[in-house]
Structure formats: C-alpha cells, structure tokens
Structure 1
C-alpha cells in the first residue's frame, strides 16, 4: 500500500489487517505491519493507539520516548511498546525498520512479563526479528492469511523476548529446584510431605522455600499439594470404583472426611456427586 507519512521513502510498505471475531477472542492478531525506509524527519507522536508495537531497527538509528524517558535505538535493537499510553519515536538520522502493531486477549499479560524495559539490545533479537519478518512477509508475499499461523508467529516473537528477559542463572536455578520438588511431590503424593522435609531437599529454610515456590508457581507448597491430590482424586473417581476411603489413602488425604472437605472446597462438589456426574 502506498505510504503518505512524512519522512517515509520508497520502497516502504504498510499492510493492514482486520481480525475476525474468532481471532479477537482466541488469538494474538496483527492490526498493521510494515517495512519502512525513513528519512531524518520521520517522527511518530501519539497519545494512544490501541495495540502493542514491536519495532526492529534493521539499519540506522533512532529514538524512543515515553513517560519522560528518552532511549536511543541502534541497528539490531528491538522495541516493545504499550501504545495504549502516550509514546513518541522516530529518527534524527535515517533508518530501516520492520514493525508490527498487535493485540490479543493475553497480549497485555505477555507484555508485562517480558518488559523490564522497552528496548532489547542488538545481538539478542535475531530470532524475534525473524518472527516479526515472517508476519510481515505473509502480507508482503500476498500469502493466504491464516490467522492461527499469524498468532503462532506473534506468540513465538513475544516468547523469544520473554525468554531473553529471564536468563539469569539464579532464576533458572530456582526454577530447576522447584521443578525437582514438584516432581517429588507427584511421585509421593500419597505420603506426608511436610514443608520442612521439602525445604531440606533443596537445602533452604522453610520460609525461603515457601517464597521460592510461590514465586515460581503462584501457589504455596500446601496449596499446590492439595491441587495435586484433588486432581488425582478426580482421575480415580472417573476411572475406578474404589471406595472413598481407598481414594483418600491413594491421594494422601488419609480419611474420607478430609478428602470430602478438600474436594468440595476445590471443586464446589462432593466426591460422590462428581463421580455420579461423570458416569451420566
């Protein structure tokens, strides 16, 4: 499509997309994407543009401003912006950029997870830039627009940025520790699993263990264990005719009363009701 923006030179391209209702409800979806060759007077200043922006600097340099902060953008760097807020970017030199405005039901959550700052430096953005170009090329090559495939490319892009934002050895080590504990909990779900014993397996204090566990899973160890036990009870109720006392023994609740209390609190139904519903 022909470009009418000041400072945008040939052979720049822009493509717009109107997502289906299904895409709006289920997918990440593009609103517009482009490949621009810009002169030194190129500037974008908006109070709002309801979407999130990924911008990759293929060549040249530019800048980004938001919330009173001015950030330079070098060749190879990538920018991720919440365009629901006022923002300003452009070039005082010249640059070549690929960009994508996108949104989706989970877009804000992804954005919040992967932005400690909006600029991703050169040398760490090659894969994300590749996914960005794949979205652009679906329009550039006039390929059949497959919204599920577009969504996958965008998910791959933002996931790449999310992975970049959390590479620290300490974070990876904590995740590995908690994954090991969760594996142990699954294998020994019918046994008593006191916090002190689980914390000792990873050589930290119970207090520190609870903090680490909740940071990684969003739940306390006790709440996570109850969820594991209730999920196993659901499976046994659906697939066996075991009496409640035996199911309680298999799931670590020890008594039918404890099983019924925990099951009702988690699901809103009694084990007996759940079993009858699944057999209808």
Structure 2
C-alpha cells in the first residue's frame, strides 16, 4: 500500500503486520515495513514507537539522533534504532531505504550487543545478506502469498546475525576472540595433554597474565576451570561408552592419580565416577 506521510514519494510502499501470539512468544516479527523514497527536508521526530528499526540506505544519506547524539548514515550502511526511546531522523537531501520495524523476545539483546560495539550506524561486512533478506520479507508482503511468520523470523535472524558479525569486525578484541577460540578448540581436542597456563598462553602468543585475564573475559571461565570442565566432560563420555577402568580414564585425561580424578569428578558431578558409570544413561 502507499504511504500518506508527507515528503514520502509516491513510488514508496508500506506494509503493516499484526503478529500472532505464537510469533510474539517465539519469533522475530515485523510490525511495519517498506521501501521508501524520501524527498529533501524529510524530518521525523518521535518519542516512541514500540519496536526496533533497521534501515538499509540504498541511496543518499540521512542523519539520526538517538540518546542526544547525532550520526550520519550513507549508502550501504544500516541504521539500527531502539524506537522505544526518543529518536529522530532527517536529511536535507532525498534518500532511499529499505526499512523494517520489528520486535521479538531477543530483539533488545541483539540491539544492545550490536550497538554497544558499533553504534547505531553499522558498516556492513555482508551487505548482500542484509539486502537480500530484507527484500525477501518485503516481497512476502507485496505479493499475494500467505504471510509465513516462521520464514520471516528466519530472515530477520539472518539480518541480525550479519549485524553481529559486522559489529564484531569493528571491535579491537575481535582478533583476541579468534585467538581464544583457537585455544579452546585445542583444549577440547587434547583434554589429556599438558594444558597448564604457560602452555596455553604460549599457544595464544600472549603473556600468562594477559592470557588468563582475556580468556576469563571471553569465555567466562578461568583457563584452569575450562580445562577441568573439558576433562570431566570427556570422562563422562568414556565412563558411559568404554570399559576402561576409572584409573585408566583419569590418567588418560591428565589427572596425576586416580584419587585426584575421583575427587575432581565428585566435586563437579556430585557422585563418584563409578556411581556415574552405573547410573541410568542421561
């Protein structure tokens, strides 16, 4: 349908959607969306519109104001706004964009994660993914097809994933996250190896102190705690799927003695390795 809003050009399209109860509980869902061509000097000021807004600039540029700060977005960039809060956007020149007001149970978490890293204007690492999924959603509304909320939610999820990746690329700690991911992969592939702090820090190419602090920040666990969790998880698997003795399993996973293994296992799982082996399969 056509918009009746001032300074929106006649070739613009707008669509509205009332989400089902299931969508409101489980999905990302659009509230209104469209493909707009703006005339010069368009200016919107709004206290709130209960949703989150993504706008992909296809042509021109626009200014946005959120939290008392002004930003400028240009062709190829995406604007992400929490419309529950006061906001405005405007330009003294015309611009074109694809836009979707959406919401859903995890929308605020996605918004906060993305915007805390990159701000409300995002330089996309994969513009095609975002544009393609936005067009798919708009086409679903512009055609006579049945509105399929689960597929639309999937498209919105693809868009938000692309935003997370783009935001991560803009963060200086992104490379550190990749390094730590490599270390955790090594730990999980070699649970019985020598995994002391100096060895792991060496794998990361960092000092032991800086590595330990960074590892805890990214994984939520100390290196020692992560290694112990990996070894106990491996032990649970071997106890249920092999005939190896308790001692053999403990020694193969880097515990110095059978007693040390049993103590660590009981502390984490609440029962001894033998009782775990004899318990019903989880």
Q: Secondary structure at the match of 1:238?
A: helix
- Tell me the equivalent position of 1:86: 86
Would you say how many aligned residue pairs link Structure 1 and Structure 2?
280
Aligned to 1:144: 146
Aligned equivalents of 2:269 and 2:87: distance in 1? 45
1:77 corresponding residue in structure 2? 77
Instruction: Tell me if the contact between 2:192 and 2:253 (Cα under 8 Å) persists in the aligned partners.
Output: yes
Point out where structure 2 has 5 or more consecutive residues left out of the alignment.
Answer: none
Name the counterpart of 1:97.
97
Between the aligned partners of 1:38 and 1:120, the Cα distance in structure 2 is 21
Cα deviation for residue 80 of structure 1 reads 0.8
Quote how far apart the aligned CAs of 1:168 are: 5.9
Structure 1 range deviating more: 1-10 or 262-271: 262-271
Match of 2:51 in 1: 51
Q: 2:218 aligns to what SS in structure 1? A: helix
Tell me if the contact between 1:12 and 1:34 (Cα under 8 Å) persists in the aligned partners.
Answer: yes
Structure 1 position 206, deviation (Å): 0.6
CA 1:124 to 1:185, structure 2 compared with 1: closer, same or farther past 3 Å? closer
Q: For the residues of structure 1 that align with 2:87 and 2:137, how far apart are their CA atoms?
A: 23
Report Cα offsets for 1:103-123 as digits up to 9, x if no partner. Answer: 233322222232221112489
TM-score by length of structure 1 reads 0.84
- Asked whether the equivalents of residues 75 and 122 of structure 1 are also in contact (C-alpha less than 8 Å), the reply is no
CA deviation vs aligned residue, 1:200-233 (integer Å, no higher than 9, x gap): 2333211111123234323221121122122212
Residues 185-224 of structure 1 mapped to structure 2, 5 A cutoff: 185-224=187-226
Does 193-202 or 242-251 show the bigger shift?
242-251
Counterpart of 1:111 in structure 2 is: 111
Number of the residue aligned with 1:35: 35
- Decide whether aligned partners of structure 1 residues 194 and 101 sit closer, same or farther in structure 2, where only a CA change above 3 A counts: same
Change (3 A) 1:2 1:216: same
Mean CA deviation greater in 265-274 or 69-78: 265-274
1:33-83 Cα distance to aligned partner (Å, 9 max, x none) = 111222345333222223221011222332211121122233333201122
TM-score by length of 2: 0.83
Given candidates 132, 135, 147, the residue that maps to 1:130 is 132
Q: Which runs of 5+ in 1 are unaligned?
A: none
